[in-house]
Chain A
Amino acid sequence: AQSVTQPDIHITVSEGASLELRCNYSYGATPYLFWYVQSPGQGLQLLLKYFSGDTLVQGIKGFEAEFKRSQSSFNLRKPSVHWSDAAEYFCAVANQAGTALIFGKGTTLSVSS
């Protein structure tokens, strides 16, 4: 069965520092992978997606993610974090039937000044 693991529950980064959020997935074929961000009291906003092709994908708000099949990973990165990036980040993989997303438990990002 497909699954997503986000090993870090909470990460604190200084403003202006770089960020990497980890995501590992379990899926037999080529996965469709997503990163979403959720601010307090809000729904989820799509940051970026990977379907096929170039393994480095660019998203909104200066985020990027790299798909590494050998490591079953899809880590999210940002070169310089802004205070407004503080939020909950979710990695997700589409299920085999294409009917649903399977989400990880999320990583809470705090930004210190």
Chain B
Amino acid sequence: DAGVTQSPTHLIKTRGQHVTLRCSPISGHKSVSWYQQVLGQGPQFIFQYYEKEERGRGNFPDRFSARQFPNYSSELNVNALLLGDSALYLCASSLEATSNSPLHFGNGTRLTVT
């Protein structure tokens, strides 16, 4: 079975630009979460979506937004990019949006902002 797939794998953007990252969950998984991992740190929670609705949001500015589609895939959008947005962006899917439904992570999108 295919795992969580993310695209693109690498991306280079300039400050002030906009970026869209994409994620396809494991088949049958209804929940998708997004995490930001800065070099040398643990992942930080950005969003959780379940059945197309936002269920949770981390401490990130409004420049970050996301959505989930009827097929449960998801997009993460970041506007007005800053140098500090350079990071590995991880998508994770789970069967349900509950604590006891373990997260399965994709390999991430490496975003570099210059």
Contacts and interface: CB of A to CB of B under 8 A. Distances in A.
Interface in B57-91: 58, 90
B33 interface: yes
Contact of B43 (A41, A51, A103): A103
Contacts of B42: 4, 90, 92, 103-106
Interface string A16-51: 000000000000000010101000011111100101
Interface residues of B, number: 25
Interface in A37-72: 41-46, 49, 51
Q: How large is the interface on A (under 10, 10 to 19, 20 to 34, 35 or more residues)?
A: 20 to 34
Nearest to B54: A99
A46 B103 contact: yes
A43 B90 contact: yes
Contacts of A103: 42-44
B102 A41 contact: no
Given A97-B56, A100-B56, A43 B105 contact: yes
Contacts of A100: 33, 45, 48, 56, 58
A44 B102 contact: no
A32 B58 CA distance: 19
Contacts of A87: none
Contacts of B15: none
What 7 A-B pairs come out closest when comparing CB atoms?
A99-B56, A103-B42, A94-B99, A43-B105, A100-B45, A98-B99, A44-B105
